[in-house]
Amino acid sequence: MIVSDEDLMLECRKGDMSAFELLVRRYQDALVNYIYYTINDYHRAEDLAQETFLRVYKSASRYEPRASFKSWLYTIATNLSRNEIRNRARRKTYYLEDMVDENEDVYHSEFMVDTRFQPDILYEKKERQQIIRKTLKQLPENQRLALTLVTYQELSYEEISEILNCSVGAVKSLIHRARQNMRKLLIKAGIGESVNAQI
């Protein structure tokens, strides 16, 4: 039987560390990926994901299972990502993210796929991924967050509306505009391919 996140959190409130550990195991990959796609810096994404879990643990004593645990977790992660994006914009510092882009395959599961003897395919794939990641970064903050949540985390519009603190209608329009903009930017970058329509 799978124990729900909310039940694990209630156990964690009683001081059960193993319940907390199980929650971390459940969400660590999804959370690191989510933050990575929004701030585009792998090492910082891991730091912020750790910070998210620490905040969850700190607030465990006050936790009441009114909203879903998942939405709450992503809300904390989203706020941390937002602060990071704004701090970077304010300081106009790019850290190591461009260097990370060059070396990022160290952390990618693409090494799991057996493309070692097909350098062209590997190169093309890597280049395409870099373009997509950089294009995603060009979207306005809320559009990027909404699109990342729906595409990579497979959250419902309602969950996204809780996380971004807006209405479901607003999420609908954010995602629609995000896809329109993404499409334009990808075509501009040369990988939009040949479907004639604009979204």
List, in order, residues 6 or more apart from 27 with CB less than 8 Å away. Answer: 70, 73
Closest CA to 122 of 104, 136, 106, 110: 110
By CB under 8 A, is residue 53 in contact with another protein? Answer: yes
Nearer to another protein, 29 or 86 (CB): 29
109 binds another protein (CB under 8 A): yes
Strands (E), 1-90: none
With beta carbons less than 8 A apart as the criterion, state whether 102 and 60 touch.
no
Q: Report the C-alpha gap between 54 and 48 in whole angstroms.
A: 10
* Minimum distance of another protein from residue 92's CB (angstroms): 26
Report residue 90 as tokens: 């304010």
Q: Which of 17, 96, 99, 121 binds another protein (CB under 8 A)?
A: 17
Q: How far apart are CA 65 and CA 37, in angstroms?
A: 28
Binding mask 137-156 for another protein (x = CB under 8 A): ----------x--xxx---x
We find the least distance from the C-beta atom of residue 140 to another protein, in angstroms, to be 16
Q: Considering beta carbons, is residue 36 or 70 the nearer one to another protein?
A: 36
- The encoded tokens of residue 121 equal 């395919």
Radius of gyration of the chain, Cα coordinates, nearest whole angstrom: 18
Write out the residues near another protein by the rule CB under 8 A. Answer: 17, 20-21, 24-25, 28-29, 32-33, 36-37, 42, 45-46, 49-50, 53-54, 57-58, 61-62, 64, 104, 107-110, 125, 128-129, 132-133, 136, 147, 150-152, 156-157, 172-173, 175-176, 179, 182-183, 186, 191-193, 195-199
